[in-house]
Amino acid sequence: MTKPHDDNEQSHVDRREFMAAAAGMAAAVLAAHETNAAGHASTPANFAPEDRVARPVSAGSRILITGANRGLGFEFARQYAELDTRIIATCRTPDKATALQELAADNPGIVIEKLDVTDLENIDELATKYAGEPIDVLLNNAGIGGGAENQIFGKLNYPVFFEVMSVNVVGPIKMCEAFRKNVEASNLKKMITVSSSQGSIAEVMMPMLYWYRSSKAAVNMQMVNLALQMRRRKVIVGLVTPGATATDFIPEPFRSRIPSIRQPEVAAADMMRNIDRFTLENSGSYFNYDDTVLPW
Amino acid sequence: MISKLPRKGIDRIRWLLVVSVSGLLLAMLLPAVAQEASEDLPYIPTVLITGANRGLGLEFTRQYVDRGWRVIATARRPDAADDLNALAEKHPGLVIIEQLDVQDFDVIDALSEKYADTPIDILLNNAGINGGARNQMFRKLQYEAFDEVLLTNTIAPLKMSEAFYENVLASQQKKIVTVSSSEGSIGGATQPRLYFYRSSKAAVNMLMVNLALQLKRKGISVGMVNPGPTDTDFMAGLPKSMLRSPTDAVADMIRNIDGLNLETSGTFWQYDGTIIPW
């Protein structure tokens, strides 16, 4: 884990550019300080009545799902297909995704696309292919856990950190960048990322999964920024969590040690209900599977 | 490796025997040794500060050495660190400059080997980069910049903690502190900006909260401090009226570090002593 020494590291930082951001940063810090002292939150944004109305996915909605070959992604595809939606189901190796292929054979609304979310060029290519086509819900589902054994203090495996970040953080934000116009052109205008309650810093009770947890805190931060960014364009950004689910994501022997483990069909249904709840007003929220809002 | 405890039965028993016997001997000898030492030399606490060549790191060095602490001050290029070198000349033996680029984990390991038997009271992860605002604008995100920001701001502090864990454990104060930023507060975000910098700080906060829980049993406390907008190169170009002086920013952070203990471990402190929400 060695990077070449870069003597010019600071020189590429354009100070004038940074100035604008830093000015906002300083102002925000000072403003936050003042509002805290005054005991009230910052001024809420103004929303039109329609911005407060939750519009659910319905027949004809178009949904792009990453990592749709198995686990929660497959469940999303299966259950959304039952609603007569049109689905772009992506996975790294469609040839091996037999369950997804069978599902697509029974549902003409499903199109399978090859996509590795860590391959940014691959994302751009897919976006080019779908240019001009509205996508109602961009569903960033693909994610990795990184392996618990790589995330133990004292023997941390640092290269794995970057793998986890690449799939769980860079993948989702890059997808949002690439498919921004498709979502903007749609009816529902939602960019949803499957996060995890493990990403809640406030809820950490035991030390574990350093990489996975920090990737989810990081993606939460990016999506909150994106929610603020896209508000003017009426694009809704949301975070949902599945809860501990019995998929390949939680391998044995861990899976059978979690008494509260949930079935993927239940977890996906819970997230779909929460995806429907998102409006422009609550954009940027972190909805747990039980409909509560998780603390950051 | 944290635990060198042998796992196999016989080995383990033998090892425990050796440890308990030598522990007993040590316990008998130690009071005499400690007493003797305390008569001659008072305990001088040590702080290791990364990125000590300028800005907040330099000011941390100045203020800790003014308190009579010993500072292991690291910088990427010590030869170019004029202010730090001047400080070291003024305080021979108390300011020790070491070459360290926190992005280079081999160098971190080499430095921790060099200091293998030195207690470090406070490991102060100060080095940080902002990644350049123009690399972090949605629709034009430059992902290579993200890797670099994550490396310096997020995992280098954890790697430092891993590498210097034994040193902190062997010290009196036993503290690991990371300079975070209120920009890392997810709940505090009200304007979209600095996607990478912000998420690197949210991510490091998460790592440090885990570390706080991990090391509590060992008596090590872990904290995060926030300088507020400060007049350093990091914020170059801003009107001075918006910025706090590095002297004040560091004095405030040191006060919060002083207040860090096992009970408050895992806290993210604003410079004024309030708690920043995640």
Q: Choose among B264, B168, B171, B173: nearest CA to B225.
A: B264
B97 in the same domain as B6: no
Q: Does A152 touch chain B (CB under 8 A)?
A: no
pLDDT reported for residue A247: 87
> Does B165 share its domain with B253?
yes
Instruction: Tell me, yes or no, if A161 comes closer than 8 A to chain B by beta carbon.
Output: yes
Tell me, what's the pLDDT at A100?
98
Which residues in chain B have Cβ-Cβ distances shorter than 8 Å to A23?
A: 238-239, 242
Please give the DSSP secondary-structure letter assigned to residue A42.
P
Indicate whether B35 and B56 sit together in one domain. Answer: no
Q: Is residue B134 part of a domain?
A: yes
The C-alpha of B133 sits at a distance from chain A's nearest C-alpha, in angstroms, of: 5
Q: Is any Cβ of chain B less than 8 angstroms from the Cβ of A215?
A: yes
* DSSP codes, A103-159: HHHH-TTEEEEE--TT-HHHHHHHHHHTTT---SEEEE-------GGGS-TTS--HH
With respect to residue B232, please indicate whether it lies within any of the assigned structural domains. Answer: yes
Note whether B91 and B35 are same-domain residues: no
Tell me how long chain A is.
Answer: 296
Residues B158 and B257 in one domain: yes
Flag whether B141 is in a domain: yes
How many CB atoms are located within 10 Å of the residue A102 CB? 10
In a domain, B70, yes or no: yes
CB within 8 Å: A161 and B213: no
Phi-psi region of A258 (alpha: psi -120 to 50; beta: other; left: phi over 0): beta
Write the residue in B3, B133, B150 that is nearest to A18 by C-beta. Answer: B133
Q: Is residue B48 assigned to a domain?
A: yes
Interface touch A221/B238, C-beta < 8 Å: no
- B198 in any annotated domain: yes
Q: By residue range, what is the domain housing residue B37?
A: 1-42
3-state secondary structure chain B: CCCCCCCCHHHHHHHHHHHHHHHHHHHHHHHHHHHHHHHHCCCCCEEEECCCCCHHHHHHHHHHHHCCCEEEEEECCHHHCHHHHHHHHHCCCCEEEEECCCCCHHHHHHHHHHCCCCCCCEEEECCCCCCCHHHHCCCCCCHHHHHHHHHHHHHHHHHHHHHCHHHHHCCCCCEEEEECCHHHCCCCCCCCCCHHHHHHHHHHHHHHHHHHHHHHCCCCEEEEECCCCECCHHHCCCCHHHCECHHHHHHHHHHHHHCCCCCCCCCEECCCCCECCC
B132–A27 CB contact, under 8 Å:
no
**Contact residues, A window 123-142, toward B, CB-based 8 Å cutoff:** none
Contact B203 A15 (CB under 8 A): no
How many domains does chain B contain in total? 2
- For residues B133 and B156, state if they share a domain: yes
Helix axes A210-230, A171-178, angle to 10 degrees: 20
Q: What letter would DSSP give residue A182?
A: H
pTM, two decimals, is 0.87
From the list B140, B147, B212, the residue with the least C-alpha distance to B176 is: B212
Q: In what helix (H) or strand (E) does residue A239 lie, and over which residues does it extend? A: strand A236-240
Query: Does residue B51 share a domain with residue B27?
Result: no
* 8 Å CB contact between B276 and A202: no
Tell me what pLDDT residue A255 has: 87
What residues of B are in contact with residue A19 (Cβ under 8 Å)?
A: 236-238
Q: Is A41 on the interface with B (CB under 8 A)?
A: no
Q: Which of A1, A6, A207 sits opposite B214 (nearest CB)?
A: A207
pLDDT at A248: 86
Contact call for A21 and B190, based on CB within 8 A: no
Helix axes A210-230, A158-165, angle to 10 degrees: 30
Inter-chain contact A25–B229, Cβ cutoff 8 Å?
Answer: yes
In-domain check, residue B30: yes
B131: left (phi > 0), else alpha (psi -120 to 50), else beta? Answer: left
Based on the fold, state whether residues B159 and B224 are members of the same structural domain: yes
- Each of the 296 residues of chain A gets a pLDDT tens digit; together they read 444 444 333 333 344 444 455 555 554 444 444 433 333 334 456 789 989 999 999 999 999 999 999 999 999 999 999 999 999 999 999 999 999 999 999 999 999 999 999 999 999 999 999 999 999 999 999 999 999 999 999 999 999 999 999 999 999 999 999 999 999 999 999 999 999 999 999 999 999 999 999 999 999 999 999 999 999 999 999 999 999 998 888 888 888 888 889 999 999 999 999 999 999 999 999 999 999 999 99
pLDDT below 50 — which residues of chain B? 1-8, 31-37
Q: Do B11 and B96 have their domain in common?
A: no
Q: Map out the domains of chain A with their CATH numbers.
A: 59-287 (3.40.50.720)
Q: What is the pLDDT at residue B13?
A: 56
Would you call B272 and A3 a contact, using CB atoms and an 8 Å cutoff? Answer: no
Contact (CB, 8 A) for A134 and A103:
no
A154 → closest Cβ in B162, B186, B238: B162
CATH number of the domain within which B256 lies = 3.40.50.720
Minimal-distance CA residue of chain B relative to A4: B104
Are B216 and B250 within one domain? yes
Instruction: Give which of A14, A18, A233 to mutate to test B binding, by max B Cβ within 10 Å.
Output: A18
Which chain B residue has the Cα nearest residue A198? B206
Q: Name the strands in the sheet holding A137-140, side by side, starting at the edge strand that comes first in the sequence.
A: A110-114, A86-91, A62-65, A137-140, A190-194, A236-240, A286-287
Q: Does A34 touch chain B (CB under 8 A)?
A: no
Say how many CA atoms lie within 13 Å of A241 toward its Cβ. 24
A33 interfaces chain B, CB cutoff of 8 Å? yes
Is residue B34 located within the same domain as residue B155? no
- Distance between CA B49 and CA A166 in Å, rounded? 30
Same domain for B251 and B119: yes
Residue B159 lies in a domain: yes
- Taking an 8 Å cut-off on Cβ atoms, the answer to whether B138 and A204 are in contact is no
pLDDT for B234 equals 82
Which pLDDT belongs to residue B3?
Answer: 42
Q: Do A10 and B233 touch (CB under 8 A)?
A: yes
